[in-house]
Amino acid sequence: MKFLLTVAGFDPTGGAGILRDIAVFRRFGFLGAAAITANTVQNTNGVKRVEFVKGDFLIEQLKATLKEIKPLGVKIGIPHSSADVNAEIAKLLQNFKPVVFDPVISPTFGKEFLSDLKVLEPLFLIADVITPNASEYEALKPFLESFKGTVIVKGVKEERKVKDLLIADKKVLKKAIHPKDEKEVRGTGCAFSSALLSLMCLGEPVKKAFIGASSFLETYRKESFKTGIMKQFYSLE
């Protein structure tokens, strides 16, 4: 069986987090395994509460999973709030490639996930690709000066368009341009990074996987349906 692993937060509504990751993995033909970094109380009206899993519990959960399942790739979403726990996660995952890190700092609506960005540093060391959105990228720039992998910046807004940028060696090598709309679709970051990992694990080079994941995201948005007070959207896949 072909497994991918997600190490991320839990959204009980399934719009984002590990439930969204596993749904995307399955769409590309992979089974999903998961370790939960944080539990949340949230819905389409926003994140009300965040509780990070106890560090020793998370590490024990991850060790037990990896004892029986050898994933072909790893996606990391919300990191733990402890740098020491993230260092332990990095140690356990350092021999698994590729690693796509979607450094989720805060949700679109509601309670912030992380305030001390230094806790992310151990995970940068094992990541092959980092996929921040435009605001996360600006916040993380000081930490990415020595990053040797690929950075994909999602959702750069420009007039009536939205761009995704693939950056390597501090140069923009590829762009994906999408028409701008007024939808606030939940879980787009999770869906993109999970699609990217899936395509890379299907043998696509990162540049081609980037285009494929961006195309997948357009379909993801088109398939979405309206829900909730905040007029956010869920995707069917």
Name 158's Cβ contacts closer than 8 Å, sequence gap at least 6. none
**Which domains, from first to last, does the chain contain?**
3-235 (3.40.1190.20)
pLDDT tens digits for range 117-139:
899 999 999 999 999 988 889 99
Per mean pLDDT, which range of 62-66, 99-103, 108-112 is the poorest? 108-112
**Going by DSSP bridges, is the β-strand pair 150-158/232-235 parallel, antiparallel, or unpaired?**
unpaired
Residue type, 130: I
Check residue 231 and give left, alpha or beta (phi > 0: left; psi -120 to 50: alpha).
left
pLDDT tens digits for range 188-230:
888 999 999 999 999 999 999 999 999 988 887 777 766 665 5
> pTM for this one?
0.91
Return the pLDDT at 45: 77
Return the pLDDT at 236: 61
